[in-house]
Amino acid sequence: MFGFLRRDPNAAMVERLNEAIVSRARQPVFYRDLGVADTLDGRFEMVCLHAVPVVQRLGEAGAPGPDIARDLTDALFKRFEIALRETGVSDIAVPKRMKKLAANYLGRAQAYREGLAADDGNVLVSSLARNVYLCEDSADAPGAPVLAQYLRDVRMALAASTLQDILGDSVQWPDAGIAL
């Protein structure tokens, strides 16, 4: 009867992962040195860039990985909703904006997975140029190749980490500034 009072056992892990992703996404190197727009949209792109490989890795792991991946995605979207409200988006417009953010996130997830799996490294660079820099030609996005290598490094770091490392926030995240 009072099951709703029980605390979710994954809540602390999800919050740690959420904080780690957002903290990584807010690194000044992305905005200052790689030219990502320091706007709500640019920050959304950096959160996606960090969340997609984490959620994918959790989804591939054994239990409780897939459940935590789902809870993490929910927590990220709760944070997006709060950010929209804090920037003055009306209560009426929030659901529409959230629907668009969800579609964008899913599109990024698919594009980044395909780009990381492709033999041609330009697939990922082109995807990042389009999504992060809003450029159709990757030559117009000089930071895209650096972000592509960074995303590959993130994927490798996560692959080398155990589920316990990921859940305990012990992942050895790559340094985005190394490639500069």
Tell me: the pLDDT tens digits for 81-100? 999 889 888 889 999 999 99
In contact, 57 and 167? CB cutoff 8 Å: no
**Cα separation of 111 and 107, whole Å?**
6
Give the pLDDT confidence of 4-47 residue by residue, as tens digits: 545 677 888 899 899 999 999 999 999 999 999 999 899 999 99
Sign (positive/negative) of CA torsion 83, 100, 109, 141?
Answer: negative
CA 34/CA 89 separation, integer angstroms: 28
Other residues' Cβ atoms within 10 Å of the Cβ of residue 32: 10
Q: Secondary structure of the chain in the HEC alphabet? A: CCHHHCCCCCHHHHHHHHHHHHHHHCCHHHHHHCCCCCCHHHHHHHHHHHHHHHHHHHHHCCCCHHHHHHHHHHHHHHHHHHHHHHCCCCCCCHHHHHHHHHHHHHHHHHHHHHHHHCCCCHHHHHHHHHHCCCCCCHHHCCCHHHHHHHHHHHHHHHHCCCHHHHHCCCCCCCCCCCCC
Describe the crossing of helices 40-60 and 122-131 by its angle, rounded to 10 degrees.
Answer: 140
Query: Tell me: the pLDDT tens digits for 50-89?
Result: 999 999 999 998 888 899 999 999 999 999 999 988 988 8
Q: What is the pLDDT of residues 121-169, one digit of tens each?
A: 899 999 999 999 999 888 889 999 999 999 999 999 999 988 888 888 7
- pLDDT at site 99: 95
